[in-house]
DNA sequence: ACTTGATCTGGAGTTGCTCCAGGACGCTAC
DNA sequence: GTAGCGTCCTGGAGCAACTCCAGATCAAGT
């Protein structure tokens, strides 16, 4: 399928997909006779995963390292698993940041409520 | 107190504090006779709030708007409350993103476990 | 007097996009 | 058959939010 559909299905923008490919985050993107990119279902899955990793703050360096492992095939599965485990740890930290911020907002909102006498 | 202590207490870096001040996010920073910045306890509180907002992805534009309201005093409390309520909504969205990513990671990790036969 | 440590300023560099100009196809419609 | 769409391409500029650095100042300790 073409890039617009890949963007729709992955939630990444067309520009971001091209940028990621250029940056080595998306291996094995072939071209049609028209010179346009063609995305396989596996590559779409990969883009979906990248979108999720990016939305949760994985740096591009780490995504590139992960992509290089992915491109090398099954021998790298342990390393890839470790990457995902590490990211899962980061998610927990972000979780705590969100909770902490939510608590602070509640506190501030309470102060505003008092000041407004409501 | 001075900038290094402000950095320690707020969790922002010294560079970020200077950058935020230059960008209009930190009103009313006075200077000592030595020309160095002096931070009041209120300003520290403000930096702590900024740090939390930034850690949870509030754009600088929004932080600047919020800072301008803050600088204008109590008449803007309703508007400021609205800003915080809006951000609390964003936190919920980020929460969902995190949960979604965690679920996806679990799924991928399950696949890896199967491939490794463990 | 001299080194150390903290601060200052202005500006360059980095990351991760995002947008745009200019150009090439292919399709429908006149 | 050519005019106008829509989608794609490339290379490069622009932007947000830092981050780092060079070069200068100045107070305090030895």
Chain A residues with a Cβ under 8 Å from any Cβ in chain B:
48-49, 52-53, 55-56, 74, 77-78, 80-81, 84-85, 87-88, 91, 94-95, 97-98, 100-102, 104-105, 108-109, 112-113, 115-116
Q: At what angle do helices A3-10 and A41-55 cross, to 10 degrees?
A: 50
Compute, in degrees rounded to 10, the torsion defined by CA atoms A8, A10, A16, A21.
-120
What are the tens digits of pLDDT across the range B25-74?
999 999 999 999 999 999 999 999 999 999 999 999 999 999 999 999 99
Please say if the pLDDT value at position A6 is more than 90.
yes
Please give the average per-residue pLDDT across B5-31, as a whole number.
Answer: 97
Rounded distance, CA B77 to CA A9, Å? 42
The answer, as to whether pTM is greater than 0.85, is yes
Q: Where are the beta strands (DSSP E) in chain B?
A: 30-31, 37-38
How would residue A43 be classed by pLDDT, with cut points 50, 70 and 90?
A: very high
How would residue A117 be classed by pLDDT, with cut points 50, 70 and 90?
A: confident
Please say if the pLDDT value at position B118 is more than 90.
no
């Amino acid at each position: 399928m073409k890039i617009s559909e890949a963007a729709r299905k992955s939630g990444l923008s067309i520009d971001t997909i091209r940028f990621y490919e250029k940056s080595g985050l998306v291996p094995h993107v072939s071209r049609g006779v028209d010179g346009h990119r063609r995305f396989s279902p596996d590559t779409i899955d990969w883009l979906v995963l990248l979108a999720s990793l990016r939305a949760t703050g994985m740096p591009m360096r780490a995504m590139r390292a992960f992509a290089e492992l992915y491109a090398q095939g099954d021998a790298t599965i342990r390393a890839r698993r470790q990457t995902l485990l590490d990211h899962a740890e980061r998610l927990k930290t972000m979780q705590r940041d969100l909770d902490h911020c939510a608590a602070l907002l509640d506190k501030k909102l309470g102060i505003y409520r008092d000041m407004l006498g409501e």
